[in-house]
Amino acid sequence: DFGEQVEDGCRNAILPKLTILPLVENAIIHGTEAGSDTCYIKLKIWREENQIRIQVRNPGAQFADKFFQRLQNKEIKPSRHGIGLLNVDSRLKLFFKQDYSIQFRNEGELAVVDVRIPYWTRRNGSEEEMDD
């Protein structure tokens, strides 16, 4: 099952291509690893002041302690899906410089990926940060 909750006004935010898809794919793959016939993924996108928050949540496999840091440091050998997560991080870094974050954590039985990026939209054909 897949659930989506996108706050009004967030659909026109500028995101680098292939930001959300690899996060959802990773949740599906790891959410079905436990052998369950059912996998539930929840995508939630909302605005907090001048940022967009993107969360992907799923029950099932949990993230190892310091998972992403260990993946970045090559302490964990990336599988095909780990490479996708590293690519998401690289694209966000190229697009937003240091003005973003990506976190991988466990909340109870849920694995949660939480991305925070500046809220940008297109105005007059150019990319500008929103002032309101």
Q: Can you read off the two tokens belonging to residue 77?
A: 């050998």
Q: Can you read off the two tokens belonging to residue 13?
A: 């935010």
CA dihedral 10, 14, 18, 22 (to 10 degrees): -40
Paired sense of beta strands 120-123 and 126-129, if any: antiparallel
Give the residue from 100, 88, 118 showing the smallest Cα distance to 26. 88
Does the predicted model carry a pTM greater than 0.95?
Answer: no
pLDDT tens, position by position, 39-78:
789 999 999 989 999 999 998 778 878 888 878 888 877 6
